[in-house]
């Protein structure tokens, strides 16, 4: 098999890492190495930062219209390479090709379309004073910003940071996850094709502890936008905070789905199956703790298990597969260890619970059955810690107060979903639940204008809409007195 060699994108060209060293990149569905990615270090980050610094004066002063046109070309480039990118994402991550086609790649293009057009409407505030003065707030690009992203939605989350950072007039040094570097590499080819000026976007591949750390520490990168695990976020904050860097942290979750007996049952059942196992449960927004009002519990349990048993786990490239492989062997072991822990904690496996051996070319792939567990207390480790795999726990509850206590009991506060036809209850619960995102009678319905992010240990700050523009610009108030 031909091993693909990924390159860094620095100063407008595709280059080898200065060390000449590479990391293995695996296809999770086969367990085999299929590509190698640069094992870059602080030296490559330095080159990328210098290129970004050089590009900044022109890029930051370019008219919004010209910047917008260039970013639209990148969006068009993603759309033009739709099938190639979807296939690459599926092979790199293990996710079903159908999911890459319907979620990851359309959304990556949308991120660029959205911010390329937003910049044309971006305006800042002014404040009149009776004393005969006017304040106006300048919102100017900051400089070189660092964007670090995870493996679960590789191009989707990478572009979710890069597009607003560039639209706001910054230059970027970005690092995709070393586990899923392929579509970021293909994006660099698209940027070259689109005519993005050299140095405006630089993509440095490599390990978190080397490349990510060098970006976080770099004195000429005053802004860090990070999405990943909570403990990595804590480490990044401890490095960046004493340097007074601006930080956006999108971190882990342990999201509750709360189901009341009066819900629209059929819609709920289908959606909760999706919110539990989409992308093998590896979406930060997946609901992994399912609380069901007691009168509905037994019926839900039977129907949900039947629904989950209809899901097919298999070759991600096969149209019939609902679930593909989990992202790595290490992650497979982590997920399986949590299933063992659940058993030790008194949980009963209602369905799933095991690794799957898929026939044919995927026989060595990292597949796990969608797993439903019951009988666990709300405060046990299985129900408190992020598993980030196809594993959910179902629990009954009796009152709103009780389920709120369960839902709010974890260190996380990213997203929640509520299922009820009672409007007052939905609003009451939405007010009390401690998550940055609340879905009522739906899941992962995303409007890019809305604030996106978590409370508590799920993050600091919000992405999306004008929130991202505020983050990626420096406000400066100018007070002009014109009266006597
Ligand atoms: P991770 O924290 O291991 O890695 C994320 C990125 O950080 C990678 O690019 C990695 O190389 C880099 N990194 C690692 N160590 C670093 C360091 N010392 N300095 C700088 N960068 C470093 O996370 P992951 O395993 O790739 O992703 C899964 C996690 O991401 C889950 O916890 C999930 O909930 C979270 N996530 C959150 C959101 C959100 O929007 N809140 C979205 C997707 C994923």
- Atom of ligand 1 at shortest distance to CA of 230? 32
Question: Which residue out of 232, 238, 280 has the highest number of ligand 1 atoms within 8 Å of its CB and is therefore the one to mutate?
Answer: 232
Kindly state whether residues 374 and 401 are assigned to the same domain: yes
| 422 lies in the same domain as 316 | yes
- Ligand 1, atom 37, lies closest to the CA of 251
Ligand 1 pocket, 228 CB below 6 A?
A: yes
Decide: 177 in ligand 1 pocket, CB within 6 A: yes
319/362 same-domain check: yes
- The answer to the question of residue 218 being in a domain is yes
Buried b (16+ CB within 10 A) or exposed e, 311-339: bebbbbbbeebbbbbbbbeebbeebbebb
Residue 484 domain flag: no
Q: Domain of 403?
A: 255-450
Burial class of 31 by CB neighbour count within 10 A (0 to 12, 13 to 18, 19+): middle
Q: The CATH number of the domain where 179 resides is what?
A: 3.40.605.10
Cite the active site residues. Answer: 250, 284
pLDDT for residue 475: 97
**Is 366 buried (19+), middle (13-18) or exposed (0-12) by CB count in 10 A?**
buried
Q: Is the CB of 106 under 6 A from ligand 1?
A: no
Give 222-245 pLDDT, tens digit per residue.
999 999 999 999 999 999 999 999
Q: Are residues 26 and 139 in the same domain?
A: yes
* Bridge-based pairing state of the strands 415-419 and 371-374: unpaired
Please report whether residue 132 resides in a domain: yes
Widest distance between CA atoms in the chain:
84
What spacing in Å lies between the alpha carbon of 477 and ligand 1's midpoint? 35
CA distance 204 to 239: 20
CATH number at residue 285: 3.40.309.10
Residue 191: predicted pLDDT: 99
Q: Give pLDDT tens digits for 247-306.
A: 999 999 999 999 999 999 999 999 999 999 999 999 999 999 999 999 999 999 999 999
Q: What is the pLDDT of residue 483?
A: 81
229 lines ligand 1 (CB under 6 A): yes
Terminal CA-CA length for the chain = 79
Residues 232 and 268 in one domain: no
Domain count, the chain: 2
114 and 133 fall within a common domain: yes
Query: pLDDT under 70 in the chain at which residues?
Result: none
Are 213 and 82 in the same domain?
yes
Instruction: Assess if residue 483 is contained within a domain.
Output: no
Q: Which of 150, 437, 458 to mutate to test the pocket of ligand 1 (most atoms within 8 A of CB)?
A: 150
Q: Is the CB of 240 under 6 A from ligand 1?
A: no
> Residue 276: inside a domain, yes or no?
yes
In DSSP notation, 215-231 reads: HHH-TT--EEEEES-HH
User: Hey, whose CA ends up nearest to atom 18 of ligand 1?
Assistant: 209
Q: Are 478 and 126 in contact (CB under 8 A)?
A: no
State the closest ligand 1 atom to the C-alpha of 331, by its place in the atom list counted from 1: 25
Interatomic CA distance for residues 439 and 444, integer angstroms:
8
Best probe residue, ligand 1, of 228, 236, 283, 387 (max atoms within 8 Å of C-beta): 228
21 and 162: one domain? Answer: yes
DSSP β-ladder status, 171-175 and 201-203: parallel
């Amino acid at each position: 098999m031909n091993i693909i060699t990924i390159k860094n994108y620095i100063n407008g060209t595709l280059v080898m890492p200065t060390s000449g060293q590479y990391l293995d990149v695996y296809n999770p569905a086969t367990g085999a190495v299929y590509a190698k990615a640069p094992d870059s270090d602080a030296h490559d980050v330095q080159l990328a930062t210098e290129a970004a610094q050089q590009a900044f004066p022109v890029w930051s002063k370019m008219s919004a219209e010209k910047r917008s046109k260039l970013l639209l070309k990148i969006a068009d480039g993603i759309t033009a390479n739709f099938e190639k990118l979807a296939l690459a994402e599926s092979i790199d991550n293990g996710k079903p090709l159908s999911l890459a086609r319907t979620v990851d790649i359309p959304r990556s293009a949308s991120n660029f379309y959205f911010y390329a057009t937003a910049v044309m409407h971006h305006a800042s505030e002014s404040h009149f004073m009776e004393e005969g003065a006017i304040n106006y707030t300048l919102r100017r690009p900051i400089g070189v910003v660092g964007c670090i992203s995870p493996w679960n939605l590789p191009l989707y989350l990478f572009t979710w940071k890069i597009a607003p950072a560039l639209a706001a007039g910054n230059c970027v040094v970005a690092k995709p996850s070393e586990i899923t570097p392929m579509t970021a590499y293909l994006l660099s080819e698209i940027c070259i094709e689109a005519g993005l000026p050299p140095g405006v976007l630089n993509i440095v591949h490599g390990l978190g502890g080397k490349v990510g750390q060098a970006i976080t520490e770099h004195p000429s990168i005053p802004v860090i936008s990070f999405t990943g695990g909570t403990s990595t976020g804590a480490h990044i904050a401890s490095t960046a905070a004493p340097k007074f860097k601006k930080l956006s942290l999108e971190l882990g979750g342990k999201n509750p789905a709360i189901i009341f007996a009066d819900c629209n049952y059929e819609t709920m059942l289908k959606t909760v199956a999706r919110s539990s196992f989409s992308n093998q449960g590896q979406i930060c927004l997946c609901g992994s703790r399912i609380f069901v009002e007691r009168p509905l519990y037994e019926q839900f349990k039977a129907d949900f298990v039947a629904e989950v048993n209809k899901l097919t786990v298999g070759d991600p490239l096969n149209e019939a597969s609902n679930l593909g492989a989990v992202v790595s062997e290490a992650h497979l072991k982590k997920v399986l260890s949590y299933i063992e822990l659940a058993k030790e904690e008194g949980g009963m496996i209602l369905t799933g619970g095991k690794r799957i051996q898929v026939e044919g070319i995927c026989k060595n792939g990292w597949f796990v059955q969608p797993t439903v567990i019951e009988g666990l207390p709300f405060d046990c480790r299985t129900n408190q810690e992020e598993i980030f795999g196809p594993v959910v726990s179902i629990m009954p509850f009796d009152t709103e107060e009780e389920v709120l206590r369960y839902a709010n009991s974890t260190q996380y506060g990213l997203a929640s979903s509520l299922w009820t036809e009672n409007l007052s209850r939905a609003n009451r619960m939405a007010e009390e639940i401690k998550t940055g995102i609340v879905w009522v009678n739906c899941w992962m319905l995303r409007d890019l204008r809305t604030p996106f992010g978590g409370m508590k240990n799920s993050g600091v700050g919000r992405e999306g809409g004008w929130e991202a523009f505020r983050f990626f610009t420096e406000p400066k108030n100018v007070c002009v007195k014109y009266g006597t």
